[in-house]
A and B are shown apart, each in its own frame.
Chain A
């Protein structure tokens, strides 16, 4: 097996007395799409935030291209620009138009004007006519797609998605998932925390079931959804797929 793009070894994270991650090992290959499933509070979001070092990890290590990015004291800006993340609550900058939201980071961090690329991204995700609008003037689904474009404009090597459809009205979920399908066909390396089981089953290369701060079981989606081996996975899937 070639070297993984991203590698986690024994990652631990606590908030006060609350141990949220209790030793996570995970390898993600370039171009792979990994879905994290599990109940709320199982540590999916925290795991994503520990990958891009938004939360410093307590123990263990995160490797990106064989470089330990979790080493204390590392310049995190240069790490974060390589790892895009999209949040459940969009978090667009409300005082900027959609286009300005997208152009800010390339201009300030990469020191270049990416207007042409940004316009192409807006067109590709069906938002060309909304570029000049402010976040307030966009629907939730449109805002979330702008957030994806904003992350993509930094040309990240990996994309993390933290339950990006969880805050959306049901009829808007589809347009956001469509964006993920497009990225999938382009070979983007992606890790998704999601409650969309149907989507995970359709597109994931691998599904990881998390519970109590560890990855309880992982495998290809057919195996996890059709023949889970561990009792906790079976119980979880019974409750969500009913």
Chain B
């Protein structure tokens, strides 16, 4: 070990000790101080009841499958619609001008209205037209509301990605004789999508959570089921169970996304 390595090893040891000490201090403070709060016994009884946790967990996990299903159909639809809107907003040909206007209005509306309001308006409004089964299902129209909203978000992220690709890339492509369409498809879009992947991954994590908003219009998914248990058992622990289940999915999903990104970056440099 040379001088520099010895110094850096010592530094690393020191940093590790400091980090461990300060973390221990914070944890100890929380564990010791929170129970001193006057309401702690009541909070513990109504939020952290072990028996209720065990009793409600299996049903809540099953209800969570509905969230997963809604999420799973929504994602491909969002990707397709978001891409279509992003491309519509970038269309330059005069004949496509109406598409451009449509794209801009679409994004303004669905980005400007709170998700939960869109879910109410579409989830209650469209079935109100008296459509026959199964087209009056709140599952369908709630999902549509999520898809419309998140497509607007994704479209904006994609568009910023497309605009961030330097003009020299487009020039190089059209100088080879590629059409505008092929230039977008083979040169610009693949780079843009890659560049905004982290932002879009965050969008998907947000979507995964927002699926729970559909509980307001009917489907008995996890949040709704937790609400039912809360009333039934007069205890808030089911909400904590729901939170734990969400975290069990979203935390690994985010970490996995980061891992994929790093791998992609390492492969190309």
Contact = CB atoms under 8 A, between A and B. Distances in A.
Interface string B43-84: 000000000000000000000000000000000000000000
A91 B178 CA distance: 15
A87 B168 contact: yes
A154 B168 contact: no
Contacts of A54: 171, 174-175
Interface residues of B, number: 19
Contacts of A134: 268-269
Contacts of A93: 169, 172-173, 187, 191
Classify the secondary structure of B's interface with A.
helix
B98 interface: no
Contact of B269 (A52, A78, A108, A137): A137
Nearest to B194: A95
Contacts, number: 66
A115 interface: no
A89 B168 contact: yes
Interface in A69-114: 76-78, 80-81, 84-85, 87, 89, 91-95, 104-105, 108-109
A44 interface: no
B179 interface: yes
A105 B169 contact: no
Interface of A: 52, 54, 76-78, 80-81, 84-85, 87, 89, 91-95, 104-105, 108-109, 134, 136-137, 150-151, 154
Interface of B: 168-169, 171-179, 182, 186-187, 190-191, 194, 268-269
8 contacts: A52-B175, A89-B168, A93-B173, A95-B191, A95-B268, A104-B178, A109-B177, A154-B177
| For the complex of A and B, 7 pairs with smallest distance between CB atoms | A81-B177, A91-B172, A105-B176, A109-B177, A136-B269, A80-B177, A91-B168
Given A136-B268, A151-B176, 16 more contacts: A54-B174, A54-B175, A78-B177, A80-B176, A80-B177, A85-B175, A91-B169, A93-B169, A95-B190, A104-B187, A108-B179, A108-B186, A109-B179, A134-B269, A136-B269, A154-B176
